[in-house]
């Protein structure tokens, strides 16, 4: 079941999982300003999480002919190792996409150019690379600062319709996805 967190205990559990998934690279305040949804197993353990924030697209705000004036920035998604390859990342992404299907103009995220698993997932969800950012991440993905940083793609999904998606894609990929 996917639900948005609503208490400090769940936030602490997300933080604990994020530190396992991202090898201790998540600060204790990282999630403070983001909305977060979790997918829990039957035993109550969190199998995965996704965080995002929304902002008004000020260029579209005054366009009264459309309600689609919100940009959704997906900031982080993670899946516990024991729960991988079960479509959890896809379900979490689809949760956020469907939640805002009536008001989002676009969904955006950043992904390391080295994270092919995540890039493949986003492509299957119809995200497209629209920008290349040099040195977006501070380290090489393994906690070692190289002095150069790691490049990232900014990927975007434009909301061309208000139809919900069903979450079914061929060859679902579900691995650790870092969107910092």
Whole-angstrom Cα Rg for the chain: 16
Strand order of the sheet with strand 104-112?
2-4, 35-40, 46-56, 70-79, 104-112, 150-158, 128-137
pLDDT score recorded for residue 83: 94
pLDDT in tens, 45-102: 999 999 999 998 665 555 555 567 789 999 999 999 999 999 999 999 999 999 998 8
Residues in the chain: 180
In order of their start, the domains of the chain are 2-158 (3.40.630.30)
Tokens of 164: 């919900």
Give the global pTM.
0.79
Q: pLDDT at residue 172 above 50?
A: no
pLDDT score recorded for residue 169: 38
DSSP code for 154? E
pLDDT in tens, 99-138: 998 889 999 999 989 889 999 999 999 999 999 988 777 7
pLDDT score recorded for residue 62: 54
Q: Is the dihedral of CA 92, 93, 96, 100 positive or negative?
A: negative
pLDDT score recorded for residue 177: 42
Nearest CA among 154, 2, 157, 161 for reference residue 88: 2
Q: pLDDT at residue 166 above 70?
A: no
State the Cα–Cα distance between residues 11 and 33, nearest whole angstrom.
12
Tokens of 160: 């061309």
């Amino acid at each position: 079941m996917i639900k948005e967190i609503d208490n400090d205990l769940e936030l602490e559990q997300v933080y604990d999982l994020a530190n396992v998934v991202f090898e201790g690279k998540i600060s204790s305040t990282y999630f403070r300003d983001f909305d977060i949804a979790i997918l829990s197993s039957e035993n109550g353990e969190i199998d995965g999480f996704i965080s995002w924030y929304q902002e008004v697209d000020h260029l579209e705000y005054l366009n009264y002919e459309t309600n689609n004036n919100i940009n959704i920035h997906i900031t982080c998604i993670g899946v516990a190792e024991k729960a991988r390859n079960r479509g959890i990342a896809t379900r979490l992404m689809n949760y956020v996409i469907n939640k805002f299907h009536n008001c989002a103009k676009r969904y955006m995220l950043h992904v390391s150019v080295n994270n092919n698993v995540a890039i493949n997932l986003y492509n299957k969800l119809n995200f497209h690379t629209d920008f290349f950012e040099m040195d977006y991440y501070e380290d090489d993905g393994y906690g070692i600062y190289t002095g150069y940083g790691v490049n990232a793609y900014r990927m975007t999904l434009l909301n061309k319709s208000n139809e919900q998606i069903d979450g079914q894609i061929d060859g679902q990929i579900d691995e650790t996805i870092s969107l910092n």
